[in-house]
Amino acid sequence: MIQRTIKEVAESLIGLKEKPGNSGFYAFPNEFQETINRLIGYPVVRSPEDIFKSLGWKRGESWCAYFAKLVWIMAYSAYDSTFINDLDRLFEGGAAATRANFIKAGWVHTYTPSVGALAF
């Protein structure tokens, strides 16, 4: 199920360290590299900063919404890649705008937390 894959990708990023002042990131944890290689068949060879920039992040911005976007895109790459373009349009740099986009697009939303769900 996608929820387990989202959880697995998110947990593999435990240990990703941010540089001071929202200025970037240090290397991905080894577990992330291993998880992504197993899930999608190839390792991530780009730096965390390059990947976050490809998701829309700019140096100095908060990165929490981009983190969620990274996790979901990597998980859906392994689960059902037909969602990737939709996810790219739904996620924005801010949580409120991202939530509004998901609701407007008809994704189910509740006030009950569950594994793999976005929390706003």
- How many domains is the chain partitioned into structurally? 1
Each residue's pLDDT tens digit, 13-49 = 999 998 998 888 888 888 888 888 888 787 777 888 8
What tokens appear for 4 in the block? 């387990």
Domain range for 88 is: 2-104
In this structure, is residue 112 part of a structural domain? no
First to last CA, the chain: 22
In this structure, how many other beta carbons lie within 10 angstroms of the beta carbon of residue 4? 12
In this structure, is residue 111 part of a structural domain? no
Question: What global pTM score does this model have?
Answer: 0.88
Dist CA 57 CA 78 (whole Å):
23
Residue 77 · residue 39 · CB < 8 Å? yes
What tokens appear for 119 in the block? 């929390």
Dist CA 110 CA 120 (whole Å):
11
In this structure, is residue 13 part of a structural domain? yes
In this structure, is residue 117 part of a structural domain? no
Instruction: Give Cα separations from 109 to 8, 32, 89, 95, 112 (angstroms).
Output: 21, 28, 18, 14, 9
Query: What residue type is assigned to position 13 of the chain?
Result: L
In this structure, is residue 85 part of a structural domain? yes
Each residue's pLDDT tens digit, 77-94 = 988 889 999 999 999 988
